């Protein structure tokens, strides 16, 4: 399945989660086996090109794509969650929201010193969450091999938050 065919499956949902926002619903990509397979192929191809030791998948839809990639690439996947959702000792990073801040966390043993990690999520919008995960990686003296996204909302310029990090997306709006 070609990227333009995958893009056509994404549904616009006006005024969700609040008035004025047009939400990009990716659930049709999950219910279409050919689309999901093509997405996993893209992620696996890009992962192989960047060489990594593991995957840091961002809550929650990033878990879906990260798990598929981990299985396909034979790499471990580690969960990146909001504060208080992981059961063992964690490290955390704060990131800015439209109004206020939030935190992401990962288990302390998820990021090895000197390791190379892929940051995987379904969507890059403002880039704040991925940037916070990149700071977690750097704080453990490890490297971000690349940031991989299924969908990019380019009008929100999230890529700029990632600085010199490699960021790739399959489809762009």
**Domain coordinates in residue numbering, the chain:** 51-172
Q: What is the pLDDT of residue 119?
A: 98
SS3 86: coil
Q: What is the pLDDT of residue 100?
A: 82
Q: What is the pLDDT of residue 99?
A: 76
Choosing from 61, 81, 159, 161, the catalytic residue is: 61
Residue 91's closest CA among 130, 133, 120, 53?
A: 133
Choosing from 71, 83, 98, 168, the catalytic residue is: 98
Rounded mean pLDDT of 17-22?
A: 93
Residue 152 among the catalytic residues: no
Output the CATH code of domain 51-172.
3.40.50.2020
List the structure tokens of 77.
Answer: 């996947």
**pLDDT digits over 80-89, tens only?**
999 999 999 9
Residue 72 among the catalytic residues: no
pTM: 0.96
Task: State how far the alpha carbon of 109 is from the alpha carbons of 16, 47, 64, 93, in Å.
Answer: 37, 22, 21, 16
**pLDDT digits over 86-105, tens only?**
999 999 999 987 778 999 99
């Amino acid at each position: 399945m070609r990227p333009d065919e995958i893009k056509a499956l994404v549904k616009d949902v006006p005024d969700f989660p609040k008035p004025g926002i047009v939400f990009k619903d990716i659930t049709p990509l999950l219910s279409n086996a050919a689309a999901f397979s093509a997405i996993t192929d893209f992620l696996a191809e890009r992962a192989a090109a960047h060489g990594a030791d593991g995957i840091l998948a961002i809550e929650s839809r990033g878990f879906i794509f990260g798990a598929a990639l981990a299985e396909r690439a034979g790499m471990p996947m580690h969960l990146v969650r909001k504060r208080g959702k992981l059961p063992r000792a964690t490290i955390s990073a704060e990131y800015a929201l439209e109004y206020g801040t939030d935190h992401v966390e990962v288990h302390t043993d998820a990021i090895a010193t000197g390791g190379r990690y892929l940051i995987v999520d379904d969507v890059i919008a403002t880039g704040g969450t991925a940037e916070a995960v990149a700071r977690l990686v750097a704080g453990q003296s490890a490297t971000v091999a690349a940031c991989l996204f299924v969908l990019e909302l380019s009008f929100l310029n999230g890529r700029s938050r990632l600085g010199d990090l490699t960021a790739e997306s399959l489809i762009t709006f």
